Amino acid sequence: MPRIPRNYVIAGALALGVVLWMLTGLWPGREAPSAEVGAPASAEGGAPLTVEVTLSRGQSVERRIVAQGQVRPERSATLRAQTAGQVESVSAEAGQAVRAGDVLVRLSLDDRPARLREARALLQQRQREYEAARRLGATGLQSQVRQDEAAAALESARATVERIELDIDRTGIRAPFDGIVDERLVDVGDYAGLESPVVTLVDNDPLTAVAFLSQHHFDAVRAGAEARVTLVSGEVRSGHVNAVAPRADEASRTFRIEVDVPNPGGVPANTSAEIDIPIETVTAHRISPALLALDGDGVLGVKTVGGDGRVAFVPVEIVRSDARGLWVTGLPERARVITAGGGFVTPGEAVDSVESAAPAAS
């Protein structure tokens, strides 16, 4: 049998020592590493894992429906000429506040005053003819047919006067409500035909905030409910839901709501807004989104440690979010929420827990 070289024997002994060290995890002169939060338990002792928990207390929180929308004017109108004529004067400028009844545009009268005088003279004549026919009819010298003809002629003359007076009145185009001139569409010297647009007018106080909500929220929103509207300026205005659509949109399956809010500052219409409608007050906990987990059935929840020292998976529902975390319901009023090491433990498992001074949501 050939003799094994000495250097081969030494190398084999060193290799065997390394393998034994790797298997035992020991090193002469050092102790085995201590357990850390969330680290797996040692194979020898089977000691429970250590997790970090935070005591969370429930608080009263508003459950809200939040939707993005826009604010629209309370009302708007395009004023049109109701008679034809040349524009004689314009007293409306864009951005100008006006009152109901103010004359914004005036058309030339042309021959209307002359036609009115002529119509009034004819009316007087027809009045005398009618009175004469009635007197003669009372004596039997005038037939009933002639009396009726005189009465009809009188009414026709009276109607002509009223039409001309109305036509003259319409040469002054007036604001139908208090508002702000959005656009002036004519200048002095322009000819305005019948139904020609002359001025657009809007009423921005109050504003109407409009949004479309999911069909799942239909039962939660009623007309008269309180609402808060955050305008594009960042201002928050309080108002009430004044309209809820009786049917959902066929394409989007959403339904329209409207909220009236005061607008004394003159925020422009057709700008973005956020509508916030409180629907109920619930007990909720604020947690970090990182603490949410899914169970085997895909249910959203949070892991806690119960009084028996075992892990529990508690299903939760997100109420709302803010800059500091999520508000969730489903946890008991006081809960020891696992904030570190939760990914290494399973429901029902016994654990050692250490209290954390940090809240469940930082």
What six digits make up the tokens of 258?
Answer: 């409207």
Residue 277 pLDDT exceeds 60:
yes
Query: First vs last Cα of the chain: how many Å apart?
Result: 74
What six digits make up the tokens of 252?
Answer: 């989007």
Rounded CA-CA distance 163/339 in Å is 83
User: Could you read off the pLDDT of 10-49 as tens digits, one per residue?
Assistant: 445 445 454 444 444 444 433 433 445 555 544 345 689 9
Portions of the chain given CATH number 2.40.30.170: 65-74+203-281
Tell me, rounded to whole angstroms, the distance of Cα 110 from its chain centroid.
52
Portions of the chain given CATH number 1.10.287: 109-170
Look-up of token digits 């709501």: 257
Asked if omega into 246 is within 30° of 0 (cis), the reply is no
Portions of the chain given CATH number 2.40.420.20: 49-61+282-355
CATH 1.10.10 for domain 109-170: no
User: Could you read off the pLDDT of 81-98 as tens digits, one per residue?
Assistant: 999 999 999 998 999 999
Mean pLDDT over each residue of the chain, to the nearest integer: 86
Residue 74 pLDDT exceeds 70:
yes
- pTM check: above 0.75: no
Query: Helix and strand tally (H, E) in the chain?
Result: 3, 20
Using a 10 angstrom Cβ sphere, with 0-12 exposed, 13-18 middle and 19 or more buried, the burial of residue 103 is: middle
SS3 133: helix
* CATH class belonging to 65-74+203-281: mainly beta
User: Could you read off the pLDDT of 167-218 as tens digits, one per residue?
Assistant: 999 999 999 999 999 999 999 999 999 999 999 999 999 999 999 999 888 8
Comparing CA positions, the residue from 173, 175, 167 lying closest to residue 190 is: 173
Comparing CA positions, the residue from 284, 297, 285 lying closest to residue 337 is: 285
Tell me, rounded to whole angstroms, the distance of Cα 209 from its chain centroid.
7
* CATH class belonging to 49-61+282-355: mainly beta
- Pairing label, strands 179-184, 97-98: antiparallel
Residue 119 pLDDT exceeds 80:
yes
pLDDT at 217: 85
